[in-house]
Amino acid sequence: RHIASVHQTGCQPELDNLHQYIDMKTLRRYIATCKKKLPLVPESLLDYVVTAYVELRKQARVSKDMTYTSARMLLSILRLSTALARLRCGDLVSKDD
């Protein structure tokens, strides 16, 4: 938005009108709540992630790109999904995560 606004108007907009800030107390409370969550990965989603990972491995073997798909990548995907579920205070990791 900021870049588009600068190109349209030719000047930098006032920062006060662009953002609504969250006070630190609320933000700290939200982060503390998120840290307490330990979302689980449902079995059906785990099967989906493993299948997608196997497909990525197959594509990497046939592809001439220099990409490397490892088990570490699978663990990273699960860790990131769990972190996103924590951010939304979910008890289960969803496919959207």
- What pLDDT band is residue 3 in, cutting at 50, 70 and 90? confident
Helix, strand or coil, per DSSP, at residue 22: coil
Phi, psi angles (nearest 5°) of residue 54: -60, -40
Q: Length of the chain in residues, anyone? A: 97
Give the whole-angstrom CA distance, residue 46 versus residue 54.
12
pTM check: above 0.75: no
Helix, strand or coil, per DSSP, at residue 77: helix
Domain boundaries, the chain: 2-87
Chain centroid to Cα 28, Å, comes to 20
pLDDT beyond 80 at 19: no
pLDDT in tens, 45-75: 999 999 999 998 888 888 777 777 888 988 9
